[in-house]
Chains A and B, each alone.
Chain A
Amino acid sequence: MRSIWRTLDRGLLRDIALVCLADGVVGISYGAISVGGGLQFWVPVALSLLVFAGASQFLFVGIVAAAGSPVAATIAGLLVNARHVAFGLAVSEVIGGGWRRLPGSHLMTDENVAFALGQEDLRQKRAAYWACGIGIFIFWNLGTVIGAAAGSVIADTDVFGLDAAFPAVLLALVLPALRDRSTRTAALIGSVVALAATPFLPAGLPVLLALVGLLFYRSDKPALEAVR
């Protein structure tokens, strides 16, 4: 654990801390919304601990609080979380082998995957992934407990503009990768497809459809590949 702190420079650590803090505030609102919607204290808390995937948790409590079917809530949550398969393929080397795969997989979020992909070498990627994952896990769960216990402290984080902060976080983290032309083309086409599909498909599916953008991706070493 100590090597994580030594590998991370101070700037990156500060950036990660900011994201953790923001996640904690959203966690408070999530806990408050859940309890305010009539769910018992343990429901949002158990979801944060065991599922640990914000978007799917909001969806789940939204559906069951509106007296929807828990089966529908579970399926909707799984659909939203399906993107983690692709994340796992991209960061498996970062997570490492053996027992690390278990906690490392549970800690997988959009934010720490984006932080890891933005680093140069494997050591830095690994340190960013684990530090951000552990940090978010602590703050998200702490926030959930506080929000669920206190009830309606912060029900609406839109007032603070946090709904704009999270896309901006991910955007800032993926921008360096988008300087590569082929990746940018794939990402742009994928995003347009996702946006076009959003009005017609259930949550989670439009983002998965963005993967068709990969049809336009050419990896940058065709010559080398041909020589082999």
Chain B
Amino acid sequence: MNHTVMLAGILILAVGTFSLRLAGPLLRTRFELPERAQQVMSAAAIVLLAALVATAALTDGQDHAGIARPVGVLVGGVLAWRKAPFVLVVVAAAVTAAGLRLLGAP
């Protein structure tokens, strides 16, 4: 591919992404938000993160993610629910998925 076209694509993506990120902080300094609106904003971020977890755990592109990854995330989730240390949660999720793959799980 042409270098100039590639560079243009990267720069547009960079400027666009930065604008999306800056939009929130810029808007918020213009308007003082009531407490309730702040709560809704936080809830919106949590809803998006939860949906990211669900889609990243269960889907791969437009397909489903197989078995190893969802089970790994589930093990991590249960440990987190039981208030296990963060490091254990993360390592257990990875080791479970890697182990299941070693055993031949998709």
Contacts and interface: CB of A to CB of B under 8 A. Distances in A.
Interface of A: 11, 14-15, 18-19, 22, 43, 46-47, 50-53, 56, 60, 64, 67, 70-71, 73-74, 77-78, 81-93, 95, 97, 101-102, 104-106, 108, 110, 113-114, 117, 158-175, 177-178, 182-183, 186-188, 190-195, 198-200, 203, 206-208, 210-211, 213-214, 217, 219-221, 225
Nearest to A207: B51
B3 to A, nearest CB: 8
A73 B9 contact: yes
B103 interface: no
Interface in B49-71: 49-59, 61-63, 65, 68-71
A191 B62 CA distance: 15
Interface of B: 1, 5-14, 16-18, 20-29, 35-36, 38-59, 61-63, 65, 68-73, 76-77, 80-81, 85-87, 89-99, 101
B48 A50 contact: no
A129 to B, nearest CB: 12
B43 to A, nearest CB: 5
Contact of A161 (B46, B48, B53, B68): B68
A194 B45 contact: no
A167 B89 CA distance: 11
8 contacts: A77-B13, A86-B44, A167-B93, A168-B73, A168-B92, A174-B49, A213-B47, A217-B43
Contact of B14 (A50, A70, A117, A164): A50
Contacts of B57: 164, 167, 171
A102 to B, nearest CB: 7
Contacts of A186: 43, 46-47
A67 to B, nearest CB: 8
A102 B29 CA distance: 13
B12 A165 contact: no
Nearest to A57: B13
B45 A113 contact: yes
A60 B9 contact: yes
B56 A167 contact: yes
Contact of B20 (A22, A84, A95, A160): A84
A50 B14 CA distance: 5
Nearest to B89: A172
B21 A161 contact: no
Contacts of A208: 48
Identify the interface centre among A77, A89, A102, A113: most chain B CB within 10 Å of its CB.
A89
B24 to A, nearest CB: 2
A91 B87 contact: no
B24 A89 contact: yes
Contact of A113 (B16, B49, B81, B86): B49
Given A51-B17, A88-B23, A210 B48 contact: yes
A171 B72 contact: no
